[in-house]
Amino acid sequence: MTHSPLARLHRSELAVPAIRPELFPKGAAGPADAVFLDLEDSVPEAEKDRARANAVAALSSIDWGSKILAVRVNGQDTPHFYKDMIALLEAASDRLDVIMIPKVGDPREVFAADLLASQIEASANRARRVGLGLVIETAKGLAHVEAIASASPRTESLHLGVADLAASLGMRTTAIGGLNPDYASPAGLLDPWHFAVARIITAARAAGLRPIDGPYGDFRDTEGLTASARRGRALGAEGKMAIHPNQVATLNTAFQPDAKEVAQAHRVLAAMETARLEGRAAVALDGKLLDIASIRQAEAMVAKAARSAG
Ligand code: 1VU
Ligand code: MG
């Protein structure tokens, strides 16, 4: 069955290193909309086989509820990628929703992953087609993001990888997803992630995918996380990655339309309906212009609220 990627709630996405299976139950029982078991950068090179086996076992042995359940495989520039794909698609349960591919730099990589997945799925008689989540975290990936977004019908979401992107672009920071005191105007700090977030959101929306903002590494700084999440949602992100369980509730709240926003959207729709009955398409509400585009904005907000309500 095909579905619109946007139909799935994806406000928070918790990263869980697959080398630490003792964390899996906490990830499964918590309120994150999505969880990904990580085989990539949180797993040391010598532990790749063990992490892969842990992830394969956990897909069937743990009850993940209705979460989006993903595994982040190793990149295609490593010797682990094909082993990860084979293990996940030959041996793991159909509960696996999405394979996340890191450091995607070119649409041909997505095509290659799709082809490999198709062959293994056919050979293993899998009942369900796995989706792809693509992590954009290199200069090359950001430069090619539009082509990457539309390279495979399996793709459900684009994810910003802030730490690798900073390294790839030569950004002067070692903070994961934080602000930088050197990047400021007289009025205050600017958001150094703005361009990447906006570009990824645009590419994802153009292709009908879920845009997911990158993580905020300072997991004790709830205020900073909230501000970062609100910047992402202001631009159109569906959700944001979390690296610690104590970030998840903040993200669920931040990406859920609040009652005030939804009430205002209903006021806009009511005002535009009155305008329509009067034969008008542009009117003022509270001294501000509304026109037919306002209906689309308000309907998008109401639809998002309905998805969040479950
Ligand atoms: O209270 P309990 O003892 O039962 O549980 C601890 C801890 O085990 C648990 N916990 C987690 N559970 C599930 N998923 C997690 N990611 C997770 N992190 C912690 O929560 C309780 C409190 O933990 P803590 O405050 O003592 O945290 P630790 O010192 O154990 O761990 C902190 C780090 C940051 C190391 C840990 O949260 C972690 O490994 N996070 C994910 C890292 C990761 O997956 N990185 C790769 C993806 S993000 C990316 O690519 C970078 C940009
Ligand atoms: Mg990365």
Q: Tell me which amino acid residue 101 is.
A: I
- Ligand 1 pocket check for 23: Cβ under 6 Å: yes
Residues 115-140 pLDDT 10s: 999 999 999 999 999 999 999 999 99
pLDDT higher than 70, residue 1: no
Residue 160: strand pairing partners: 136
* Cβ atoms within 10 Å, residue 294: 21
Q: Pick from 23, 38, 136 the residue to mutate for probing ligand 1's pocket: most ligand atoms within 8 Å of its CB.
A: 23
DSSP strands (E only) in the chain: 12-17, 34-38, 68-72, 98-101, 131-136, 155-160, 184-185, 188-189, 210-213, 239-242, 283-285, 288-290
- Ligand 1 pocket check for 177: Cβ under 6 Å: no
Residues 226-281 pLDDT 10s: 999 999 999 999 999 999 999 999 999 999 999 999 999 999 999 999 999 999 99
Ligand 1 centroid to residue 18 C-alpha, Å: 11
Residues 13-31 pLDDT 10s: 999 999 999 999 999 999 9
Q: Pick from 12, 13, 14, 26 the residue to mutate for probing ligand 1's pocket: most ligand atoms within 8 Å of its CB.
A: 26
Which pLDDT score is estimated for 310?
67
ipTM of the complex: 0.98
The model's pTM = 0.96
